[in-house]
Amino acid sequence: MSMLNSVAKLAAKPFPRTVSSKGHSIVNYVVAGSFLAAAGLFWRRNKRAAVASLICGATDLALTALTDSPAGMNRVINFRTRREIDAGLAAMFATMPQFLAFNDEKEKGFFLLQGAVMTGLAEVTRFPEHPQRPEKRHPHAEAA
């Protein structure tokens, strides 16, 4: 975990867990969208940062769509498990500059910030106390 992620986790600890699963999903979609938009901005001057941004954005988008939350589409991953996944995502976001060798370039700050946002979001989100099985949507059930 990067230093900024650790600071974000400590800073968010005293705050109450007030973000709902819907709010958490919305922030995740915004984070994914910002990564995808950043890929376009980074493309001309730093291909490695652009590729890292595409990887992070696509990963967050897919995980959010697969999570059992009001904004999820497929509900494969239960929402409580998403907290642990978010910790891994935050670490992935923050280490992409080092992994793809653009650690000394200014785009690094964007990835560190996104990692801190993901860490802070996980700390202020209300996750269920006990794991729940994801509720699958059946397309035929809605038609009946």
Per-residue pLDDT tens for 74-90?
778 887 888 889 889 99
Report CA Rg, the chain: 16
Mean pLDDT over 58-74 rounds to: 85
Q: Exposed, middle or buried: residue 135 (CB in 10 Å: 0-12, 13-18, 19+)?
A: exposed
Please choose, from the candidates 94, 116, 120, 118, the residue with its C-alpha nearest in 3D space to the C-alpha of residue 107: 94
CB contact at 8 A, 49 and 42: yes
Task: Give the pLDDT confidence score for residue 81 in this predicted structure.
Answer: 86
Reading the block at residue 31, the tokens are: 């984070």
Per-domain residue ranges for the chain? Answer: 3-8+21-125
Kindly list the distances between the CA atom of residue 126 and the CA atoms of 15, 67, 81, in Å, as whole numbers in the listed order. Answer: 11, 15, 12
Whole-model pTM over 0.75: yes
Structure confidence by residue, pLDDT tens digits, 100-129: 999 999 999 999 999 988 988 888 787 767
Of residues 95 and 143, more confidence is placed in 95
- Please provide the average confidence, as pLDDT, over all residues in the chain: 82
pLDDT on residue 39: 97
Count CB atoms within 10 A of the CB of residue 102: 21
Residue 37: closest CA among 101, 97, 112, 114:
114
